[in-house]
Amino acid sequence: MSDAARHLTVLGDRVGAFVIDEELADGRLIISPEAEPVAAPDRPGRPMTQEEFASFMAEHGEHMLPGDDEG
């Protein structure tokens, strides 16, 4: 597994960046929180929270669909 594939983001009751410590034979993962956030050069900043996303979609969602002649 590449180093990039060892990082994951968890959403739900627990939210945050985690590192895969071990992948068991039955597919279960043993994970731990990342010590420090890993900066992705092509994605500056941080992911939106669910509340921020809902607010953004409420304000801008109607403008995010393609126009009638675009799809």
User: What is residue 14's predicted lDDT score, i.e. its pLDDT?
Assistant: 84
For 2-47, the pLDDT digits (tens) are 565 688 888 888 888 899 999 999 999 999 998 765 556 666 677 8
Is residue 69, in this structure, part of any structural domain at all? no
CA 54 to chain centre: 15
- As for how many domains the chain has, the answer is 1
Identify the three-state secondary structure at position 5: helix
Tell me the percentage of the chain whose pLDDT exceeds 90. Answer: 25
Is residue 61, in this structure, part of any structural domain at all? no
The dihedral of CA 12, 14, 20, 26: what is its sign? negative
Is residue 18, in this structure, part of any structural domain at all? yes
Is residue 6, in this structure, part of any structural domain at all? yes
The dihedral of CA 23, 27, 28, 29: what is its sign? positive
Q: Which two structure tokens, joined as six digits, stand for 35?
A: 């010590």
Is residue 71, in this structure, part of any structural domain at all? no
pTM beyond 0.85, yes or no: no
Domain span at residue 10? 1-37
- Whose tokens are 């900043």? That residue is 45
Is residue 62, in this structure, part of any structural domain at all? no
Query: Across all residues in the chain, what is the average pLDDT?
Result: 80
Query: What DSSP designation does 35 have?
Result: S
Is residue 31, in this structure, part of any structural domain at all? yes
Is residue 54, in this structure, part of any structural domain at all? no
Q: Is the pLDDT of residue 71 over 60?
A: no
